Amino acid sequence: EPEVTQTPSHQVTQMGQEVILRCVPISNHLYFYWYRQILGQKVEFLVSFYNNEISEKSEIFDDQFSVERPDGSNFTLKIRSTKLEDSAMYFCASSEAGLGEQYFGPGTRLTVT
Amino acid sequence: DAKTTQPPSMDCAEGRAANLPCNHSTISGNEYVYWYRQIHSQGPQYIIHGLKNNETNEMASLIITEDRKSSTLILPHATLRDTAVYYCIVRVGLHGQNFVFGPGTRLSVLP
């Protein structure tokens, strides 16, 4: 069964450093998303992406964040200058055109020290 | 999107049916009911969704009341691996729309 994959599974970085989280969505999906979950809190939407542009973003997704689909398979989330409060699980999701359900990856645990 | 209300926690005996309720009294005509679950810190897992008819798949059944103001997710034979947080989310059924996750129901399946 096709699934969303994410790398790395765990990333440790120092405050102020740039990080790139990588995702490979399900191959025939056209809509891509990033969510995050701070430890013990709810899953929060960050951004959705379709046709090589951002279709929706939340207040969390400020100028420090960017997304890119650099090739036909990868979807990346970049945090330019990490802060302690960026420590969280980051989940990538994708959905097929015309359908509502999204399929989530296993997540990347980002720890900012 | 309409707001949902779920009990914070429930227990279920292994092998028995788990019935997880959800209230969504402000649901509008074009909003679907989606169920996801999250096991530990894994990514949310899609379970099932429906508009007004009852739905069944290999994982669960979804029963939606006639007035659509509430629904029940049924896991017919719960196993220990079904222990998770279950989220009921109401949303328009369009691609590209994000999901708003609430606190969900923490289901504990007991041996």
pLDDT per residue as tens digits for the range A78-110: 999 999 999 999 999 999 865 678 999 999 999
pLDDT in the model for residue A2: 85
- Characterise A19 by phi-psi region: left (phi > 0), alpha (psi -120 to 50), beta (else): beta
pLDDT in the model for residue B99: 87
Taking the Cβ of residue A87 and every Cβ of chain B, the question of whether any pair is shorter than 8 Å is answered with no
pLDDT in the model for residue B55: 96
Cβ of B43 within 8 Å of Cβ of A106? The answer is yes
Q: Which residues of chain A have a CB within 8 Å of the CB of B32?
A: 100
Q: Which residues of chain B have a CB within 8 Å of the CB of A89?
A: 41
Q: Which residues of chain B have a CB within 8 Å of the CB of A37?
A: 41
pLDDT tens digit sequence for A66-80: 999 988 789 999 999
pLDDT in the model for residue A81: 95
Find, in chain B, the residue whose alpha carbon is nearest to that of A99: B95
pLDDT in the model for residue A77: 98
What is the Cα–Cα distance from B86 to B89, expressed in whole angstroms?
Answer: 10
pLDDT tens digit sequence for A37-47: 999 999 999 99
| pLDDT means over runs of 10, chain B (111 residues) | 89 97 92 94 94 94 96 97 96 75 95 95
Listed residue (B111, B107, B94) closest to B36, CA to CA: B107
Among B42, B45, B95, whose Cβ lies nearest the Cβ of A100? Answer: B95
pLDDT in the model for residue B13: 97
Q: Give B16-79 as a DSSP string.
A: S-EEEEEE-TT--TTEEEEEEEE-TTSPPEEEEEESSS-EE-SS-EEEE-TTSSEEEEEETT--
Taking the Cβ of residue A45 and every Cβ of chain B, the question of whether any pair is shorter than 8 Å is answered with yes
Least Cα separation, residue A21 to chain B (angstroms): 15
Q: pLDDT > 70: what percent of chain A?
A: 97
Chain B residues touching chain A at CB-CB below 8 Å = 32, 34, 38, 41-46, 49, 87, 91-103
pLDDT in the model for residue B95: 60
Cβ of A106 within 8 Å of Cβ of B93? The answer is no
pLDDT in the model for residue B92: 78
pLDDT in the model for residue A12: 98
pLDDT tens digit sequence for A6-47: 999 999 999 999 999 999 999 989 899 999 999 999 999 999
Q: What is the DSSP letter of A16?
A: T
pLDDT in the model for residue A72: 79
pLDDT in the model for residue A98: 59
